[in-house]
Structure 1
Amino acid sequence: MIPLQRVEVSPHTRTLLTRWTGRVEDAGATVPAARAEWRIATAPKRQVRTALESMARGAVRCMYCDDSRATDIDHFEPLERAPLRAFVWVNHLLACSFCNSNAKRSQYPVSADGTCLLVDPTTEDPTDHLRLLLKSGRYEPVQGSVKGEETIRVFGLNRADLVTGRVNAFIRACSNLRDWHGLCRNADPEADSVARALLDSPFIDVVHAMTRLGPGVAATVVGPPTVPALDAWRAEHSPSFRVGRPRGDADIADDPVADDGRDGHRRGGTAAGTSSRTVMRNYGLTWTDPTGTHRASAVAYDRPSAEHRKRDLEDAGCTRVDIVAVRPGELPEPPG
C-alpha cells in the first residue's frame, strides 16, 4: 500500500453526488435504499471512477494490494455502516474484486472511541503504520500500531499470492534499477522508458519501500551493486508522496449547506459529503543533481510533502534545492 493524492472533483460531480445523496435520504437513509440507489447510479459512478483512475498508480492498480487491476469502486466506510456515505467522494477508493469482495467486504474495525482502524492511503502515509519486509515479501505492523495490524488482516495483505508477487517484484526491481542507472549514465533516452515501466508495474509498493531504506541498511537489503542505482533513483523520483491533511483555517472553506439541485431544497453538507471544500496549495521543487543537471519535479506536492522531498534530495547530494509555489495543473521549470 502506498500513499495517494486525492484529487478534487469538478463542481458538476459534486452537485451530482449531492443530488444522489438526497435520493438516499428521501428513500429513508437505509442500507437497502443506499444499495438500490448505488446500483442504478450510472452517471455518478462514471464520474467517480474517472476521478479515482486519475489518482491510481500504474495501470490503475488496486489501491490496497497494488497488484491486480482495480475493477471495483469500494466504499471505504461500508454502506452497512453508513448508508448516507454511499455518494461521498472521500469515501471512494478503487479496489480489485478480491480485496473488495473477498477480503474487506463490509469490515470496518473501529477503536473504542469510534476511530477507524484501517489505513486510508489518501489521507495518511501507510508507512506510518505498515512496514514491508522486502526479502520476505510480507507486511508487518509498525510497532504499537493497531491500525497496521487491522489493515493487514482486513485487506489480506499477506495472502500467499501477494507475498510471492512482492518477492519476485523485488528481484525484478533491483535488476531494473541497475539497468536504468546504466542507461542514465550513458545518456540513453531509453532510460525514461525503463523508469515508466517500473513505475507502472504491479507491486509499486516494493519500489516505494526500497526508496525509503536508510543508508545503513540499503546495502544489506538490495546488495552493494544496486545501491548506486537506488541512490540515483531517489534523487530522480520521490521516495514518498506523503499526503498532507488540511492545516489551518486558511486552507479550508466551509459551506454549511449544499444545493441538491432538484427541488430548491438545501441539504446538510455532512450528509452529502461535498460541502467542505479543501483548497489545495501546490508546490514543486527545482534542484541540481550530483551530475550538475538541472531538474524540476514532475508532480506537485502539499507543503509537508515538499519539505519531505527537499530533505530527501539534499540527503542524496543534490544542491540548490528550492520549493516553488505553483498553480494547480502547473509544474516548475528546471533552474537555469
Structure 2
Amino acid sequence: MIPVQRVPVSDRTQVLLTRWTGRVRDAGGTPKAAREQWIKAQTPRKHVRTALESMTRGAVRCMYCDDSRGTDIDHFQPLENAPLRAFEWSNHLLACSYCNSNAKRSQYPVNGDGVCLLVDPCAEDPADHLRLLLKSGLYDPVDKSARGEETIRVFGLNRPDLVKGRQDAFFRACSNMRDWHRLHQDADPLADRLAQALLDSPFIDVVHAMTRLKPVAEATVVGPATIPALAAWRTAHSLSFRVGQPRVRRSAASTDCIDGVADNALASDARSGQVRTGRRNNDEPVISMQNYGLTWTDITGTPRSSAVAYDESSAQDRKADLVNDGCTNVEIVAVRPGKLPEPRG
C-alpha cells in the first residue's frame, strides 16, 4: 500500500454529491436508503470513478493491494456504519473486486475510543503503520501498530498471491532499476520510458519500499550492484507524500451540466454554501500533489520531454541533471493527472 494523493472534485461534482446526500437523508438516512440511492446514482458514480481513476498509477491499480485493476468504488467507512457518507468524496477509494468484496466487505474495526483502525492511503502515509519486507514479500505492522495489524488482516495484504507477486516484483525492480540507471547515465531518452514502465507496473509498493530503505540495510536487501541505481532513482523518481499543497488543477470529473442541472443552478447551490470542494466535513484539507513534467533540447539538438511526472523537488533535481548533461532550454511544466508535456521544437 502506498500513499494516494486525493484530487479535489469540481464544484459541479460536489454539488451533485451534496444533492444525493440529501436524497439519502430524505429517504430516512438508513443503510438501506443509502444503498438504494447509491444504486440509482449513475451520474454521481461515474464522476466519482473518473476522479478516482485519475489518482491511480499504471493500469488503474487497486488502492489497497497495488496489484489488480481497481474495478469497484469502495466506501472506506461502510454504508452500514455511516449511510450519510455514501456520497462523501473523502469516503471513496478505488479497489479491486477481491479487496472490496472478498476481503474488506463491510469491516470497519475501531478502537475503544471509536477511532478507525484501518489505514486510509489518501489520508496518511501507510508506511507509518505498515512495513514491507522486500525479500519475503510480507507486510509487517510497524512497532506492533494496531492499525497496521488490522489493515493487513482486513485487506488480506499477506494473502499468498500478493506475497508471491511482491517477491517477483522485487527481483524485477532491482534489474529494471539497474537498466534504467545505465540509460540515465548515458542521457538516453529511453531511460524515462523504462522508468514509466516500472512506475506503472503492479506492486509499485515494492519500489516505494526500496526507496525508503535505510543505508545500513541496502547492501543486504538489494545487493551492492543495485545501490548506485537506487540512489539515482531516489533523486529522480521517489514517490512523495505531501499534505495541504496548493491545488492548481481541476478534476476530470467536471462537466458543464450535471444530472440535468444547468450552470446557473449549480452556481446558486455553490453560493448557498453547499459546496466544499477539496475539503472533508470537518474542513480539514485533503491530500493533494501537483505534478510536473520537463521539456528540453538534448545535446543533438532534438526536442525532448519527460515520460514520467515528478513532484516539485524531484523535477528540480531532474532539471539539474539535464543541465549538467549539456541539455539546453530545460523547463519545468505543471501537468494535469495522467498528462505529460509535449517536446518544444
Normalised by the length of structure 1, the TM-score is 0.78
* Structure 1: distance between partners of 2:292 and 2:50: 28
Q: Which has the higher contact order (CA 8 A, sep 6+)?
A: 2
The answer to whether the 8 Å contact 2:25/2:84 transfers is: yes
**What's the secondary structure of 1:116's corresponding residue?**
coil
Identity %: 63
The Cα of 1:243 is off from its aligned counterpart by 3.7
Matched letter for residue 4 of structure 1:
V
Q: Secondary structure at the match of 1:131?
A: strand
Is the Cα–Cα contact under 8 Å of residues 246 and 278 in structure 1 kept in the other structure?
no
Q: 2-side partners of 1:279 and 1:86: how far apart?
A: 18
- Which secondary structure does the structure 1 equivalent of 2:143 belong to? coil
Match of residue 157 from structure 1: 157
Quick one: structure 1 residues 108 and 89, their matched pair in 2 at CA, closer, same or farther if it must change by over 3 Å?
Answer: same
Q: Cα RMSD (Å) of the superposition?
A: 3.8
Alpha carbons of structure 1 residues 298 and 69: separation in structure 2 relative to 1, 3 Å: closer
1:21 aligned partner, one-letter code: T
Alpha-carbon distance in structure 1 between the residues aligned to 2:170 and 2:48 = 32
Corresponding position of 1:320:
none
Distance in structure 1 (CA, Å) of the matches to 2:34 and 2:290? 39
Indicate how the Cα distance of structure 1 residues 92 and 284 shifts in structure 2: closer, same or farther if over 3 A, else same. closer
State the AA in 2 paired with 1:72: D
Counterpart mapping for 1:109-128 below 5 A: 109-128=109-128
Match of 2:203 in 1: 203
For residues 5 and 201 of structure 1, the distance between their equivalents in structure 2, rounded to whole angstroms, comes to 18
Is 1:176 the equivalent of 2:157?
A: no
Partner of 1:214: 214
Q: Which amino acid aligns with 2:187?
A: A
- Please show how residues 16-27 of structure 1 align to structure 2 within 5 Å: 16-27=16-27
Contact preservation (8 Å) 2:11, 2:275: no
Task: Please state how far the C-alpha of 1:328 moved relative to its aligned partner.
Answer: 8.9
Residue 54 of structure 2 aligns to a residue in which SS? helix
Pairing of 1:42-191 with structure 2 (within 5 A): 42-191=42-191
Q: Distance between the aligned counterparts of 1:126 and 1:3, measured in 2?
A: 6
Q: Where in structure 2 are the equivalents of 1:239-250 lying within 5 Å?
A: 240-244=239-243
Name the amino acid aligned to 1:161: D
C-alpha displacement at 1:144, in angstroms? Answer: 3.3
Change (3 A) 1:216 1:158: same
How many residues in Structure 1 have an aligned counterpart in Structure 2?
Answer: 299
- CA distance 1:328–1:232, shift in 2 (3 Å): closer
Q: Secondary structure at the match of 1:73?
A: strand
Kindly indicate whether the alpha-carbon contact (under 8 Å) linking 1:23 and 1:37 is maintained by their aligned counterparts in 2. Answer: yes
Structure 1 Cα separation of the partners of residues 141 and 282 of structure 2: 35
Report the Cα distance in structure 2 between the residues aligned to 1:190 and 1:165, rounded to whole angstroms. Answer: 26
- The C-alpha deviation readout for 1:311-333, integer Å capped at 9, x for no partner, is xx7xxx9xxxxxxxx989699xx
Looking at structure 1, the residues matched to 69 and 288 of structure 2 have their Cα atoms a distance apart, in angstroms, of 31
Q: Which position in structure 2 is the counterpart of 1:251?
A: none
Instruction: Tell me, in whole angstroms, the C-alpha distance in 1 between the residues paired with 2:291 and 2:71.
Output: 32
Residues 6, 287 of structure 2: 8 Å contact kept = no
What does residue range 225-304 of structure 1 map to in structure 2 within 5 Å? Answer: 225-238=225-238, 240-244=239-243, 276=283, 278=285, 298-300=309-311
Gaps of 5+ in 1: 248-259, 287-294, 318-325, 332-336
Task: Provide, for residues 269-291 of structure 1, a one-character-per-residue CA deviation record: whole Å limited to 9, x for no partner.
Answer: 89x966948488977899xxxxx
Q: Distance in 2 between matches of 1:104 and 1:183?
A: 42
SS class of match (1:55): coil
- State the AA in 2 paired with 1:74: D
Q: Distance in 1 between matches of 2:59 and 2:103?
A: 22
Give the Cα–Cα distance (whole angstroms) in 2 for the partners of residues 281 and 102 of structure 1.
29
User: Is the contact made by 2:70 and 2:94 (CA closer than 8 Å) also made in structure 1?
Assistant: yes
Which 4+ stretches in 1 moved above 4 angstroms?
266-270, 272-275, 279-286, 326-331
Q: State which drifts further: 203-212 or 179-188.
A: 179-188
| 215-224 vs 179-188, which moves further | 179-188
> When the two structures are superposed, what TM-score results if normalisation uses the length of structure 2?
0.76
